[in-house]
Structure 1
Amino acid sequence: MTISLYDATIPTYLQITNACLAQLEKAQAWCTETNTAEQDIVQSRIIEDMYPLAYQIKSVHTHSVGALEGLKQGVFSPNMDEAPGDLAGLKSKLQAAVDYLQNVDKDELNGRVGAPMRFEFKDYNLPFTAETFLFSFSQPNFYFHATTAYDLLRAKGVPVGKLDFLGALQIQQ
């Protein structure tokens, strides 16, 4: 059986993005229950020189929606816009990603297989094909940032566990 580019990306992008959204819902409720300032969560870092939770969530969007938009243009550059500064804004960013991902045209995405793709940042330039860009660059980044966001929430005390990270599994029906 052959698996399509769409099938290898979109379902898991949706699974994990929805899971991140649910984790932020739990974080928001936890902040209210524990009288914790949202900024303590949104700006949390594991170590001083890393980006905060807000950036991690923004990057989940960037390495799903941004990557797919980059495929259409044949070039991807990282989004350097400032991340939303509160949980509501971060949830909105993830909801926008879910809405986008639910409407990706399967044939259009599958039609990009083999198409040239380029990563550009400042003077840095890497050539890919659409699929090697997604599988070796954007998907690993997507999972890195989703995992880091989960780890930050967990480290702050938000009651999330492995099933919260996994979200709704794609079980056979």
Structure 2
Amino acid sequence: MALSLYDAIIPGNLQIIGAVSGLVDKAEAFGAETGRSEADMLQAKLAEDMLPFAYQVKSVAEHSLGAIEAVRTGNYSPDLAPPPASYADLRAKLDKAASALVALDPAEVDGFIGNDMQFSFRETVIPFTAENFLLSFSQPNFYFHATTAYDVLRAEGVALGKRDFLGQLRIKTAG
């Protein structure tokens, strides 16, 4: 069986979106246990010149569903809107992305192959094919932001392990 573009992207995105939603839950529980405010947790950073936890979570949605929406139009420009300002709003953003990805027709995603696509930001325009944009730009960004969200919480003292990052594995079931 050949691996399709859909198979290379969407199941992994769904797995990690679920895991990142779990990270939001863990951040909320940690804040409640330690007295850390929601705003403080959402603004936590690894380094002063990096963007905060809430931005990292927002970017997981942007580089999954946002990437698919961009391929449909042929252009991706970074969403410069502020990230959601509450745990509930972060979860809603992730839930919206997951629901839309679940509803995708695999044939539509596979049909993107060969389409022209570009990344544009200010004066920068980078041409791609749709599959190269998804696999060499959005997918690495997706995993970077998911990893950074995990790392921010670890640095803040939230008890996390590898299973918290991996989320629900797609294991073989009987049958």
Matched, 1:120 2:115: no
Q: Describe the SS at the equivalent of 1:117.
A: strand
2:147 aligned residue: 147
Distance 1:124 1:142 in 2: 21
Q: Quote the offset at 1:80 in angstroms.
A: 0.7
Distance 2:51 2:23 in 1: 18
Q: Quote the offset at 1:21 in angstroms.
A: 0.1
Unmatched segments (≥5 aa) in structure 1: none
Distance 1:44 1:27 in 2: 10
**Aligned sequence identity (%):** 51
Q: CA RMSD in A?
A: 0.9
Q: Describe the SS at the equivalent of 2:47.
A: coil
1:68 aligned residue: 68
Q: Describe the SS at the equivalent of 2:125.
A: strand
1:111 aligned residue: 111
Distance 1:27 1:47 in 2: 18
Q: Which amino acid aligns with 2:17?
A: T
TM normalised by structure 2 equals 0.96
1:97 aligned residue: 97
Q: Quote the offset at 1:171 in angstroms.
A: 1.0
1:10 aligned residue: 10
Distance 2:60 2:33 in 1: 27
TM normalised by structure 1 equals 0.97
**Runs of 4+ displaced beyond 6 Å:** none
Distance 1:148 1:21 in 2: 14
1:35 aligned residue: 35
Q: Which amino acid aligns with 1:71?
A: V
Q: Which amino acid aligns with 1:114?
A: G
Distance 1:136 1:25 in 2: 30
Q: Describe the SS at the equivalent of 2:109.
A: helix
Q: Which amino acid aligns with 2:150?
A: Y
Matched, 1:158 2:121: no
Q: Describe the SS at the equivalent of 2:118.
A: strand
| Bigger Cα displacement from structure 2, 118-127 vs 81-90 | 81-90
Report how many residues are paired. 173
1:53 aligned residue: 53
Distance 2:129 2:151 in 1: 32
Distance 1:9 1:50 in 2: 26
Unmatched segments (≥5 aa) in structure 2: none
